[in-house]
Structure 1
Amino acid sequence: MALVNNAACVGVIESIQDHLPTLYFVFSRGRTELLAEELSREWDFLLSEEKNRVNELIEKSEQVSPGLFGGRRKHLRRLLLQGIGYHHAGLSPALKELVENLYEARLIFVLFCTETFAVGINFPAASTVFDATRKWDGRNHRGLLNREFFQMAGRAGRRGFDKVGHVYVNIDEKFPEQTGFFDESQVEPVRGRLVISPNTALSLLHWKTDAEIERYLSQNLAVYQNNREIASLAGELETVEEKIFTLRKHFCEDKDGPSCPMLREKLKKELNRLRNRKRRHKPEIPGRIAEIKSILAQPAKGCLHHDCRDAHDEIAALVERKKELVRRNRQLKRYAVDYHQEFRRMCDLLEKLGFIEGKTLLPRGLFALHVHVQEILVTELVFSGILREASPAEAAAILAGIDYQPGRDEVVLPGAYNMDNVALLRNDLLDAGVPEHLCVWSPLPGPLSESWYNGATFEELQKRCNLHEGDIFSTIRREIDVLRQIERAAGEDRSFRQVMHDIRNTLDRDEVAVLI
């Protein structure tokens, strides 16, 4: 692994040109595009026949997906013809597939990508480059975990091509601590985390006996891992304490007394520090100097104290390890989840909202049993009459906002429908005690889904907003999945089920359709 001090990408590529192709990992979508454009001003990696091959693959993709390079992607064609590309979640599925195919065909020499490219896609490279080792995780900027770093760094080295893979890290001089802190032996373990969602609680009540519920809450992976680590820490803590006790036997009764050679060495060092010109004039210093001289004036014990010194140093290290173990043990106990309590709280909330009565699922509960995203909000949209009374286009606009959290700078032109009634319903649920993460909805993507339902082209949707085409695609696909869940939940209500089915079929077309 090599470290590069805050270098521009052009300089980095010039330095590693013998180790291409490279995956250049960047932690923002916009920066992948910015760096690709920056590199294209200086580099063109493709020969004439390679450019012809890229053109052929582009034309094939455009035949299937016309307008592939419209809007903000108009420059990507030129980049690809220079052997440069970028890949992130904001690209349409068709464009992502094209970029992946070009990379696999060895027609992209530098691919600027976000970390998702390293997950689930087996595209190795001769080298990987990290634009930074800090990223925004949705709440704050933090350093990469060991597991995140090695997941990406592990892409370096192609079987049958490279004897070794090369990893380059661009270090920001503002964060010198970024150097050398990744350790493959310290890769963080994957930990289980059981989430007691409304659907989880309803499913347990509906399908499981009391004994099965108890086993599910007390014997899941998260509880097992937590208990196992606490037991492991307790065992290591006991071993550390035994070692400290054994090592202390090396010390004689004169340890830390005036005649102890170890204490005297320590005092001599302190005396030298106190005689320093800067400290000499402090009022307490003369008294301490006199005290040390008085101790050193006493006869020293003539013993070989190397064993004592070694034992002292080892004990100091063990004491630090003991502190670390105690701290970790407290942390595990503090953050251990009481799943029984979480289950009871969720049941109390569902009973308060009229989803259950004791262990019996009421009509709302039976409906929500078949919904797996924002169950409470979706159910209330149906039972409040908001969805039933809405026109199909309005219903499409409402459901587009389910589980949608808009970015800071996202803008969508307004649509025909005022969705204040949904906002009021959501506020009522929040006032009733529904946690905010179980009541996620935004009106922002509604006009896009409304327009798409009414027959707009994908290009027209892009003109109505500043969202990436991949985000538009995923928003409508997510809504199609919600509609499918509502159809299942509608059960014997055939007319309502048919309305949801028709909306889903209307949305599931053209660029948004997924061919199986």
Structure 2
Amino acid sequence: MTHPVLDEFAATYDFPLDDYQLQGCRELEDGRGVLVAAPTGAGKTVVGEFAVHLARRAGRKCFYTTPIKALSNQKYADLVAVHGEAEVGLLTGDTTINGEAPVVVMTTEVLRNMLYAGSRTLLDLGYVVMDEVHYLADRSRGAVWEEVIIHLPESVALVSLSATVSNAEEFGEWLAEVRGDTATIVAEKRPVPLFQHVMVGRKLLDLFASSDVDAAAGFVREDAPVNDELLRIARDDWAASRMRDRRAPKGKRGRGGPGNRRNVGNGRRVWIPGRIDVIDQLERHRLLPALVFIFSRAGCDGAVQQCLDANLRLTTPEERDEAIDHVEGTLGRLPGADLEVLGYTDFLDAVSRGVAAHHAGMLPAFKKCVEELYLRGLVKVVFATETLALGINMPARTVVLEKLSKWNGENHADITPGEYTQLTGRAGRRGLDTEGHAVVLWQPGMNPKEVAGMASTRTYPLRSSFRPSYNMAVNLVHSYGRHRSRELLEQSFAQFQADRAVVGLARRLRRAEDALAGYAEAAECHLGDFMEYAGLRREINDLEKAGKRARSGGKHQDRKRKEAEKAQTVRIAKLRRTMKAHPCHECEDREDHARWAERWFRLDKDTRTLARRIERRTNTVARQFDRVCEVLTVLGYLDGDTVTELGRPLARIYSELDLVAAEALRTGLWDDLTPSELVSVLSVLVFEARRPDDAEPRLPRGAVADRIAEMARLSEELHRVEKDHRLDFLRPLDAGFAWTAYRWAEGDPVDELLQRGRFTAGDFVRQMKQLVDFTGQVADAAGDSPVRRTAREGVDLIRRGIVAAE
């Protein structure tokens, strides 16, 4: 079959398309949906861009969805460069540009909200591209991807772009089931070969010993041999650690485990290079530009400061001047009075030297500036947290991992093979590098085989995190009724995976049931029902064991316990008489039958457990939806297949604490608040601290503190209703941003808030933007209540200064 549109499209690129890209585009031109799973940096987005091309040729719309606003902004710029500003729009919740354009880039949540609202913008929609679709595994936001996939009209062709996951075929099967004819294309060849290294002191050693390791593969084979020199260093490290422990005074010895290995060979410590030394080594080996992943915001900022303190410079005078001009032109639109508190001077000094940090604590404008300077080759080293690996187009010649563990919100844990692959996958710039390099810094106690294991594992399996929410339930019932909604939810990837697991469990259950029948047959007795007799023996045995445990629980027994023990003795005596009177008691093969019966009882217990597991997994999503609907019915939000007047505001509120917000609106809890007070109170439904803080949050006096206390009581009441229906959706309220939100709404300057508060500029802007978005949702949901005008005034108060500039 010929593909003239593809030929026309491919001619616009100055490089030949890869086989997997051509295959994906052919499937699209033939009218199928596609799932493309390929390594980071392999060029998956070419298939998405072909969907845009097809839509424009057919006079239809194409929506391009991304998981985060930074990616949406980046993709918008890419598409504008190809198709022009008039043809491309951007919708990210807080930014609206040309929303009715034929090509619109948006976050996935925006598309979900459009589908529930029945937006007219969906008319003539022909294609939807879901970039980074593996985000559906995200615990807090993953359900949105499945909602979109399930609810998109059948006439829309879906293009799903994913990182390499080990169960791409399973995900593709689900897509075919819910979306119709879908081709799954898995590419494991990297466009640029990746070589793995460990930096030990000043040495850059290969991780793998074999020179024929296929670095162009998506992952190294699991039996690839580890470099002998690394294994020797690890052995010597361990031996020196044991020797030091034997010499140490008793009580001061280490555990002998990995955390205590400090010396190598004859007792000399392995020199751990500092960050400046690492950069020197990379520059000497011509391995710049580099991304250095440090799993800490403070660590990234500290690394940049170390470069400044060491007077490091990686740029030529011409590059320095070009970087300064770009920063001044880009960030000059920010309020001048705010620049100093935002660390502008140090930022400008650092990027002019070719180094920068990149993390969520930075102002988005600063991060975007770093990305632009890096792509122009003016920033040579970026110290970043793992958030940079989430699809942003910043490939490097080299990726450096300082450590292989990170803080996960509760404790320090090793990164997973999937995270390792995602991070190191940034190495190797297509069209610029002939090879990419991943460098892990040697740490005391490191096991090279464990590092090799991560480098040779085929990333992570995609697991659904889908569950119905209150907002989802109201929107579904309003659109489809309860019965049809249940059917739709049973089409989720979560239920698809649960059903697949049930197949294996059901097979085990059938085998167990066959074995039970065999055991029962072996226990048959010609004198009577031996299983009945065995049941009497088992009951007597259980009662005697329980009595023995009770007696061993203490010498002093109260009157009630003595009476219970006496009753139990009488019960055992009665059972013994019944057992001895049973005809099977006289069977000469009694003990042989008893052994088979005992096996039957043990297997029967296991079988009942297995049956419960199957029951719990069958229709799990639909049963959870039923419980959500029961809660909403109790609260008066649903009446059978009807969303009541009370329930309609809930359909407009998209938040983890949607039910608390809807109840606060219903009860008039916010009616008499001022705009500043309202945004402060609403912040407790949006903000969630990165780490638990035992300190009492600072609150504005008066109405704010009172309403937050009332909302906490309301949340507790709702949690009790949830518990009655075996649900646990609502997280605790967090008032940690309430004082900052109030003072900002009251007009305090950003420098005072950042100096007195506990937030970085990036955190402050991000929280304010989320609060702007949520306050707008509350305004839309408030109907004719006084809250509508107050909320809109609150949005105007907080969308100012650097929040508006961003």
TM-score range, shorter chain: 0.7 to 0.9
**Is residue 154 of structure 1 aligned with residue 445 of structure 2?**
no
**Is residue 64 of structure 1 aligned with residue 333 of structure 2?**
yes
Measure, in 1, the Cα distance between the counterparts of 2:436 and 2:802: 38
**Is residue 444 of structure 1 aligned with residue 729 of structure 2?**
no
User: What are the superposed Cα offsets for residues 99-130 of structure 1, whole Å, 9 maximum, x if unpaired?
Assistant: 11211221111100111112121111110001
Percent identity among equivalent residues?
25
Measure, in 1, the Cα distance between the counterparts of 2:308 and 2:502: 53
1:15 to 272, 278, 281: 281
Q: 1:81 to 1:413 in 2, by over 3 A?
A: farther
Compare 10-19 and 111-120 and name the one that shifted more: 10-19
Root mean square deviation, CA, Å: 3.0
Partner AA of 1:45 in structure 2: L
Compare 413-422 and 61-70 and name the one that shifted more: 413-422
**Is residue 378 of structure 1 aligned with residue 649 of structure 2?**
no
1:404 to 665, 687, 690: 687
1:131 shift after superposition: 1.4
1:399 shift after superposition: 1.1
For 1:429, the equivalent position in structure 2 comes to 715
**Is residue 511 of structure 1 aligned with residue 802 of structure 2?**
yes
Partner AA of 2:764 in structure 1: I
Which secondary structure does the structure 1 equivalent of 2:791 belong to? helix
Which secondary structure does the structure 2 equivalent of 1:394 belong to? helix
1:20 shift after superposition: 0.3
> Residues 126 and 166 of structure 1 are in contact (CA less than 8 Å); yes or no, is this contact kept in structure 2?
yes
For 2:193, the equivalent position in structure 1 comes to none
> Residues 295 and 406 of structure 2 are in contact (CA less than 8 Å); yes or no, is this contact kept in structure 1?
yes
Partner AA of 1:22 in structure 2: A
Q: 1:364 to 1:173 in 2, by over 3 A?
A: farther
> Residues 413 and 464 of structure 1 are in contact (CA less than 8 Å); yes or no, is this contact kept in structure 2?
no
1:25 shift after superposition: 0.8
1:220 shift after superposition: 1.3
Asked which structure has the greater RCO (Cα within 8 Å, sep 6+), the reply is 1
> Residues 32 and 114 of structure 1 are in contact (CA less than 8 Å); yes or no, is this contact kept in structure 2?
yes
1:361 to 622, 638, 643: 643
Q: 1:412 to 1:91 in 2, by over 3 A?
A: farther
2:374 to 103, 116, 136: 103
2:306 to 38, 57, 81: 38
Which secondary structure does the structure 1 equivalent of 2:339 belong to? coil
Compare 333-342 and 21-30 and name the one that shifted more: 333-342
Partner AA of 2:620 in structure 1: D
Q: 1:437 to 1:445 in 2, by over 3 A?
A: farther
1:230 shift after superposition: 5.8
Which secondary structure does the structure 2 equivalent of 1:395 belong to? helix
Measure, in 1, the Cα distance between the counterparts of 2:503 and 2:800: 55
1:440 shift after superposition: 4.1
For 1:128, the equivalent position in structure 2 comes to 399
1:175 shift after superposition: 4.8
2:754 to 452, 456, 462: 462
1:356 shift after superposition: 2.6
For 2:15, the equivalent position in structure 1 comes to none
User: What are the superposed Cα offsets for residues 302-345 of structure 1, whole Å, 9 maximum, x if unpaired?
Assistant: xxxxxxxxxxxxxxxxxxxxxxxxxxx99x96994811221122
1:92 shift after superposition: 0.8
2:633 to 334, 351, 360: 351
Measure, in 2, the Cα distance between the counterparts of 1:45 and 1:35: 15
Q: 1:31 to 1:80 in 2, by over 3 A?
A: same
> Residues 428 and 436 of structure 2 are in contact (CA less than 8 Å); yes or no, is this contact kept in structure 1?
yes
Alignment of 1:217-366 (within 5 A): 217-228=489-500, 231=503, 336=617, 338-366=620-648
Partner AA of 1:476 in structure 2: M
**Is residue 415 of structure 1 aligned with residue 700 of structure 2?**
yes
Measure, in 1, the Cα distance between the counterparts of 2:444 and 2:780: 56
1:207 to 468, 472, 479: 479
> Residues 377 and 439 of structure 1 are in contact (CA less than 8 Å); yes or no, is this contact kept in structure 2?
no
Measure, in 1, the Cα distance between the counterparts of 2:615 and 2:317: 63
Measure, in 2, the Cα distance between the counterparts of 1:497 and 1:34: 45
> Residues 470 and 632 of structure 2 are in contact (CA less than 8 Å); yes or no, is this contact kept in structure 1?
yes
Alignment of 1:158-169 (within 5 A): 158-169=429-440
Partner AA of 1:109 in structure 2: K
Measure, in 1, the Cα distance between the counterparts of 2:375 and 2:505: 46
Partner AA of 1:467 in structure 2: F
Measure, in 2, the Cα distance between the counterparts of 1:73 and 1:141: 32
1:55 shift after superposition: 1.7
Give the TM-score normalised by structure 2: 0.49
Partner AA of 2:650 in structure 1: A
**Is residue 112 of structure 1 aligned with residue 383 of structure 2?**
yes
For 1:484, the equivalent position in structure 2 comes to 776
> Residues 20 and 127 of structure 1 are in contact (CA less than 8 Å); yes or no, is this contact kept in structure 2?
yes
Partner AA of 2:787 in structure 1: F
Instruction: Structure 1: state its 5+ residue gaps.
Output: 237-328
Alignment of 1:73-112 (within 5 A): 74-112=345-383
For 1:390, the equivalent position in structure 2 comes to 673
Q: 1:7 to 1:212 in 2, by over 3 A?
A: farther
Instruction: Structure 2: state its 5+ residue gaps.
Output: 1-195, 201-271, 509-609
Q: 1:392 to 1:61 in 2, by over 3 A?
A: same
Q: 1:26 to 1:45 in 2, by over 3 A?
A: same
Partner AA of 1:147 in structure 2: G
Measure, in 2, the Cα distance between the counterparts of 1:117 and 1:455: 33
Which secondary structure does the structure 2 equivalent of 1:387 belong to? coil
> Residues 26 and 131 of structure 1 are in contact (CA less than 8 Å); yes or no, is this contact kept in structure 2?
yes
Measure, in 2, the Cα distance between the counterparts of 1:408 and 1:47: 45
User: What are the superposed Cα offsets for residues 325-372 of structure 1, whole Å, 9 maximum, x if unpaired?
Assistant: xxxx99x96994811221122122223333334443333311111111
> Residues 68 and 95 of structure 1 are in contact (CA less than 8 Å); yes or no, is this contact kept in structure 2?
no
Measure, in 1, the Cα distance between the counterparts of 2:631 and 2:481: 21
> Residues 699 and 705 of structure 2 are in contact (CA less than 8 Å); yes or no, is this contact kept in structure 1?
no
